[in-house]
Structure formats: structure tokens, C-alpha cells
Amino acid sequence: MTETPAPPSPSDALRFAFGTLTVLPVHVTRWDRAAARGGMLCAPLAGLVVGLCAAAVGGALLLLGGSPLLAAVGTAAVPAVLTRGLHLDGLADTADGLGSGKPAEDALRIMKQSDIGPFGVLTLLFTLLAQVAALSGLYAGGWARGAAAAAVAAVTARTALTLASRAGVPAARPEGLGAAVAGTVSVRAALLCAALVAAGCAAAGAAFGPYGALRAALAALAGLGLGELVLRHCRRRFGGVTGDVFGALAESAGLTALLALALG
């Protein structure tokens, strides 16, 4: 008779989230479906830490006399460093898979290759340019606006991963991070997490007045909405999610939130 594993502790969940979504020196103590569920529910917390680190670097560069453009470059670099570039790599691989026009099996094979094709290169280039441009404009309005935007974008990016881990979303491969977390989070818990994140973003935006609260909440929801569209397209093309798709979702959702704040 197989024993039911004990529910993961909050420490197990946090270790899974930070150990898989960041390069911070955190040891993952459990690697099972229960720990994955807790970890993906804690993904927004990992995003908050990444966002605060990015905001701190941008603010430091401004205080040292750097321009808003330099602060934006520093802010955009931090999430890439704290994830070993895995989310950007996933974005590029997913772009190559989607742009190949090939059946799911062949597209997944293309995504697994170590090289990056033209679709991936172009997607990375324009994504990073858009991030820097949006952050530069926000920092030009003051350090606080740029810092808040960096945090909102990073939290939104990881919340998109929580939503992509909900029940009913299959894995495209039997191995990898996508298979480990796919379908682990209940739909209700995923939606509640998204609602709490939107409320938290609104609270952060309230520092800039009622309109700031509304902008921040709508930016988060816009990012999550775009992430959902990308997820649905990837499910149709690949049959489910992979680690690369998760990277693409994070980058797409975070960038959309940034653009919404910059254009507001």
C-alpha cells in the first residue's frame, strides 16, 4: 500500500518557488506534485523579490548620477541575471517553435535544440528593447515610478506561471519543469492568487493616488490576460506547456504590464 506523502510545509513551497524560478542559493527539499503546487502558488513572492532587487539596482544607478536609460538597462538586467536568462531563453525557444510552422512534435524538437533561430533572436531583441524603453520613460518620471513598475512587472510575470499551472492545462512533454508543475494548482486557487496579486499591485500604485492604484491593477490584469492568450496559443500548437513556454509566459506578461504602465 502506497503511503500518501505529507503535505508540503510553507518552507517546502517557498524553497520550490525560489529554487526553480531564481538563482538564489535555495535548496529544494521536495520535488513532488504537492511541493510543486505550493511552489507555484508562491511564485508571485519570488517575482516580488526579483522585482525589488531590480528596482534597487535602478534606483542606485539614478542616485549615482546615471540617466533614466542607464537605470532602465540595469533594472532589465537584474531579472535576467537572477533567472540565469532561462525565461528569456524560453521566450526565444518558444518563438522559434511557434514560428517554425511545423507540427507539434517537430516544433517541440526545435525548441529543445541549444541554438536560437531567427524568430528567437528577433523576439529577444524587441522584447529587451521594449523593456528598456518602457522603464526609461517611467524612470524619467521619478525613481519611485520606475521602481514600482519593476516590481509590478516581475510579480505579474510569475503570477502568469501560477495560472499556467492550473488544473486542466496539460504538459507537452513527460519530463521537465512543465511536466512537474502542470495541473498542480486548482483553478480556484490560481484565480484567487491572481486576484490577490492585482489587489497588491493596486495597493502599491496607490502611493501615486487613486489613478495610480487603478493603473497598477489594470497593468497586472493586462499582463495576465496577454499571458493567457499566449498560453492558449501554445496549448493549441504544442498540446500543452513546457519549461520554455513558462519562460515565454513570464516574459510576455511582465512586458505587457510594463508597457501598460508606461503608456498610461
pLDDT given for residue 222 in this prediction = 98
Region 20-24 average pLDDT: 93
Lowest mean pLDDT among 6-15, 119-128, 205-214, 221-230: 6-15
Grid coordinates of 147: 521602481
Region 206-230 average pLDDT: 96
Entry pTM: 0.94
pLDDT given for residue 254 in this prediction = 98
pLDDT given for residue 4 in this prediction = 56
Lowest mean pLDDT among 54-58, 141-145, 191-195: 141-145
Bridge partners (DSSP) listed for residue 241: 171
Instruction: For residues 209 and 191, give the distance between their C-alpha atoms in angstroms, rounded to a whole number.
Output: 26
Checking if the pLDDT of 111 tops 60, the result is: yes
pLDDT given for residue 169 in this prediction = 96
Structural domain count of the chain: 1
- List the end-to-end C-alpha distance of the chain, in Å, as a whole number: 58
Residue 2 forms part of a structural domain: no
pLDDT given for residue 5 in this prediction = 62
Residue 5 forms part of a structural domain: no
Region 17-39 average pLDDT: 92
Residue 140 forms part of a structural domain: yes
Nearest to 148, CA basis, from 233, 67, 59: 59
Residue 51 forms part of a structural domain: yes
245 contacts 238 by C-beta, under 8 angstroms? yes
Which residues span the domain enclosing 34?
10-263
User: In percent, how much of the chain has pLDDT > 90?
Assistant: 83
Instruction: For residues 198 and 221, give the distance between their C-alpha atoms in angstroms, rounded to a whole number.
Output: 7
Residue 136 forms part of a structural domain: yes
